[in-house]
Structure 1
Amino acid sequence: MVSPTEAAMAREFGVIADLIRLHAQEAPARPALADPDLRLDYGALDALMDRVAAALQRDGLRAGDAIAVCATSGTRYAALFLGALRAGIAVAPLAPSATPASLARMTEDAQARLLFLDATTAQLFGPPAEGTIPRVALDGSAAGSGFEAWLTPAGTRPQAVEPQASWPFNIIYSSGTTGEPKGIVQGHGMRWAHVRRGATYAYGPETVTLLSTPLYSNTTLVVFFPTLAYGGCVLLMPKFDAAAYLALAERHRVTHTMLVPVQYQRLMAHPDFDRHDLSSFRFKFSTSAPFGAALKADVLKRWPGGLVEFYGMTEGGGTCILDAHLHPDKLHTVGRPAEGSDIRLIDEAGRELPRGEAGEVVGHSAGMMVGYHGQPEKTREAEWFDATGKRFIRTGDVGRFDEDGFLILFDRKKDMIISGGFNIYPSDLEAVLRGHAAVAEAAVVGVPSEQWGETPVAFVVRRAGDDTPAEALLQWANAQVGKTQRLARLHLIEELPRSAIGKVLKRELRERDAA
């Protein structure tokens, strides 16, 4: 017999908020969301979503309007997000790591009607000026109107709304690692496509997903929404800590997780990792940053359950998936195109390239952004059309397909260094540096050079207790590479600057070298 959830997932389009209502009717006492301070079962989550949706409607917001959220991840944040969706209202989750000026621009760009924040993030916005949008404090602090007081009374039901596939679901602002963040408008149809993919990864009512990446990141949301859509429970860590993560995973018998590569690195290096019982895990996911083959192999060897790497963009346009546990000989790749994803390679002139040649990765799928919010020119720059007029999204990554159809990535196109007319891929040099016993982490950037146009410079984090001098590492590395690849300088630093989802902020490294 087909369950109501299975019947809903069989449809080409559905609404995530409706699935939560379905779970609340079937099993109201089943756990849905939890953080260190607040737990909600499905019945309570569904009721809170109703109160959020009704409060937004009471304040004059209509389907298609937007709210902005800048707060620490937690249960109230998640319930707010879901309740807004029930009212057909788009959510713009903002990164607290952004500068105050960027946050102000993003809030304005999203045309947010309300701003939800907490005591910590309120400091980034400063005191509200006359005419600014109303603020609501999720933590009940003096940052704005209290969340509980803002909600409509218990038992309130909102006016019914039927979201359409083309309606904006959320506006995700790019991480801004290379420039000013752009608002990526993702539709309800795109999120539904992500949710339907969840059937492959054993999501269900018994799922317990542990998330330590922030709710403003698409990295988190691609696992957060499928867990709830299939009736599982999400545990939210406001901040990642390796020891706390391992303790939670063991205590709650966690089955699924999403981690970025630097988190896997810190977990595998934790001295107590092998003492924890992690046998409950079914699937572990990763995305957002390069995931080294050696680290993947270590995870496969020591951590039970499947390991899946997603390669794609927040903008959508196709996904490659590496089921690392099924293809241990392909750990140097990001996998093959997912079902429904059309991934191709193009040259500088926009011409499609045959298999085996390296070029920029472009992709098409059912899950593609509508466009960059309010920036049609930027949207056009991100698009490529084939000879039939089919729309693809440009990734900015350079790669090639191997003989089995697995995609091997070389580097970001904008990170590629052109030195004396030769193309240098930073990832190649980073791999060489990581081969030295003293090196824990490495990043290479291109900087201006009068002689060569650009030249590579390395930043290295040494292993704990190591005192190998920078000059010795520089000489060793340059002896391993060709003449055109040699590093001009090597800097020793305590840690690489990273975004909250683990991307190395290479712009900051270039600025540090210039200084």
Structure 2
Amino acid sequence: MSAVADYPITLESPFTTLPELLALNARHRPDHPAVIQGPHHLSYAELDAQVDRAAAALQRDGLQPGEAIAICAANSAPYVVLFLAALRAGMVVAPLAPSSTAASLVTMVKDSAARLLFVDQPVAEALEPVAGQLETPLLHLDDSQPATGFNAWLADTPPAPVELTPETLFNVIYSSGTTGEPKGIVHDHRMRWAHIQRGIAFGYGPECVTLMSTPLYSNTTLVSFLPTIGLGGTLVLMSKFDAKTYLELAEQHRATHTMLVPVQYQRIMSRDDFDRYDLSSFQMKFSTSAPFHGELKADVLARWPGGLVEFYGMTEGGGSCMLLAHQFPDKLDTVGRPLDGHDMRVIDEDGNELPHGEIGEVVGHSVAMMSGYLNKPEKTAEAEWYDHTGKRFIRTGDVGRFDEEGFLTLMDRRKDMIISGGFNIYPSDLEAILRQHPDLQEVTVIGVPSTSWGETPVGYGVLKPGADTPAEQILQWFNGQVGKTQRLNRLILTDELPRSAIGKVLKRELRDQFHGEFGTLD
């Protein structure tokens, strides 16, 4: 490993690993708070010491560098300790979503070849019906089972040193998207070091306080978690998001940075008491993972102090775009321009590159690219595109176009585009209009099978509190705003839209649900 000569870290620092940065922070600011969750605080010296004990425990249990552990639990300080400890011991972390089905968890644990699975009590209970299928030893990340709890498991001796290189694997993140098939996305330490370096430009550092409410198994969260811990800031953890609690914690801890998904911004900004909270400490707010609509960005800019940055990219890596919304208020309907060093292009169905202004699939290249999907070479090949020079790009599956200034406007996921009667219909266009109805709080549009048209659009909506407008009345209003080919076949009102833990609307679930209830439409 390369040593960091100076403190604090600078953009010119050589490659450094997160475990080394943690040790550096512990030496220079041992008493500075590293992790806060409720009444529990860990200083950098305490965090570093616990990471050592956990790394030594992994080695004691026979795990070798390059082997994997899996973690499936809600956000907690022990989760942070274990994640960092596995890295320090040269191991690969497979963070899994507690919202996954028990069967999916078994599949992902086996696919990752995890030697140990760490869970909290709710996940342990969820796994009981499939206990016979789980060959990996299970340990408790909390102390619900004192004999096998986390504190009892920790070692009392220091770990053996392990050399980490840029190519050393960092994590395997499982992303099923909306396809339902878990795919392990492999990242190395080089990619994660790039994320830490990028954080310096946004004010992450020893004095930052990052309020984190998204789950640690998500790449969305790691983009904010890594520079906070790596650069010596303070991480305030929420195990579960709640808009009121979030605002209270932001005010209490004088938060400077945060990463939120768009639905969280929507729920925070819609609170009647939002303006009474003192949020003046915020320097920068971030968002990614799901469509962030221009009108919501404008509301955040108008009422929430500090800058607003939207990242567009994939867990798989490749090219990423960034919108500095506070600098480009006239571009709020875009996801910004490619980051420095990121090469992003648009291709047609045959893989031919298209000029700016043309609509096609977005592909991207950068140093931050996955090594591939774990154990799925054919899926890796499907996700790649090569230009005429042999340069490797990652296919995003998103349809979009670049304007003359290089800003990217996204239309939709390729698989979500509706082809009705030979016409391409982008659900995002319909959602933008449907969202304008004064009684709707959340909306989405899906394509469903139709014998007459091949596919036809159907809308789903969630009414605002207190609203009782009938679905048929909203449908008539909407269809009066659009052309014949864009009209909704029907509008279904529901109490909530199915979402992933990071806020993406699960359109596949809605399509399956619709087909189960209505079958194929005429």
TM range (shorter): over 0.9
Could you tell me which residue of structure 2 aligns to residue 211 of structure 1? 212
> TM-score of the superposition, structure 1-length normalised?
0.97
SS in 1 for 2:200: helix
TM-aligned CA deviation for residue 468 of structure 1? 1.3
Secondary structure of the corresponding residue to residue 480 of structure 1:
coil
SS at match of 1:309: strand
CA contact (8 A) 2:206 2:231 kept: yes
1:194-205 alignment, distance < 5 Å:
194-205=195-206
Residue 133 of structure 1: CA displacement? 1.7
Residue 7 of structure 2 corresponds to residue 24 of structure 1:
no
Structure 2 counterpart of 1:280: 281
What residue number does 2:322 align with? Answer: 321
Contact 2:53/2:154 (8 A) holds in 1: yes
Deviation of 1:78 after TM superposition, in Å, equals 0.7
Specify the code of the residue in structure 1 equivalent to 2:473. A
Unaligned ranges ≥5, structure 2: 518-522
Q: Structure 1 residue 5: deviation in Å?
A: 3.7
Aligned to 1:488: 489
Going from structure 1 to structure 2, the CA distance change for 1:475 and 1:232 (only over 3 Å counts) comes to: same
Aligned equivalents of 2:96, 2:233: Cα separation in 1: 26
2:95 to 93, 96, 105: 93
Q: Secondary structure at the match of 1:161?
A: coil
- Alignment partner, residue 379 of structure 2: 378
2:144 matched residue in structure 1: 141
- Asked if 1:261 is matched to 2:269, the reply is no
- Write out per-residue CA displacement over residues 445-484 of structure 1, whole angstroms, 9 at most, x where no aligned residue: 0111111111111001111111111111111111111111
Work out whether residues 118 and 143 of structure 1, in 8 Å CA contact, stay in contact via their aligned partners in 2.
no
1:354-433 equivalent positions in 2, closer than 5 A? 354-433=355-434
- What is the identity, as a one-letter code, of the residue corresponding to 2:137? P
Q: How far off its partner does 1:137 sit?
A: 0.6
Report the TM-score, using the length of structure 2 for normalisation: 0.96
Q: Distance in 2 between matches of 1:406 and 1:269?
A: 29
Aligned-partner Cα distance in 2 for 1:315–1:243: 33
* Distance of aligned partners of 1:307 and 1:83 in 2 relative to their CA distance in 1, 3 Å threshold: same
Change in 2 beyond 3 A, CA 1:428/1:144: farther
Structure 2 match to 1:471:
472
Measured against aligned partners, the alpha-carbon deviations of 1:374-419 in whole angstroms (never above 9, x if no partner) come to: 0000000000001111100000001011111100010111100011
8 A Cα contact 1:122 1:143, kept in partner: no
Q: Which amino acid aligns with 2:251?
A: E
Give the Cα separation in 2 of the matches to 1:375 and 1:144.
Answer: 38
Q: CA deviation at 1:10?
A: 2.1
- Paired with 1:64 and 1:479, the residues of 2 have a C-alpha distance of 59
1:99-150: CA deviation from partner (whole Å, max 9, x where unpaired): 1110100000000000000111112211743972211111112398211111
Task: Give the match's secondary structure for 1:129.
Answer: helix
Distance 1:241 1:329 in 2: 31
Judge conservation of contact 2:106–2:134 (CA < 8 Å) in 1. Answer: no
Q: Residues 79 and 141 of structure 2 are in contact (CA less than 8 Å); yes or no, is this contact kept in structure 1? A: yes
Classify 1:373/1:202 alpha carbon distance in 2 versus 1 (closer, same or farther; 3 Å): same
User: Contact 1:5/1:19 (CA < 8 Å) preserved in 2?
Assistant: no
Q: Hey, what's the Cα distance between the residues in 1 that align with 2:12 and 2:262?
A: 33
Q: SS in structure 1 opposite 2:210? A: strand
Question: What SS does structure 2 have at the residue aligned with 1:4?
Answer: coil
Equivalent position SS for 1:441: strand
Shift of 1:495: 1.0
Query: Which of 57, 60, 69 is the matching residue for 1:58?
Result: 60
Query: Any idea what SS the aligned residue of 1:458 has?
Result: strand
RMSD: 1.4
How far apart are the structure 2 equivalents of 1:75 and 1:182? 27
The unaligned stretches of length 5 or more in structure 1 are none
**Cα contact 1:178–1:506 (8 A) shared by 2:** no
Q: Tell me, what secondary structure is at the counterpart of 2:240?
A: coil
Give 1:157's aligned residue: 158
Q: What is the percent sequence identity of the aligned residues?
A: 63
Q: Give 2:54's aligned amino acid.
A: V
Equivalent residue letter for 1:271: D
CA distance in 1, matches of 2:76, 2:105: 20
Pair 1:28–1:425, CA change in 2 (3 A): same
Conserved 8 A contact 1:185-1:369: yes
Q: 2:134 & 2:75 partners in 1: Cα distance? A: 28
Contact between 2:146 and 2:152, CA under 8 Å: does it hold in 1? Answer: no
Paired AA for residue 286 in structure 1: S
The Cα shift of 1:18 comes to 0.1
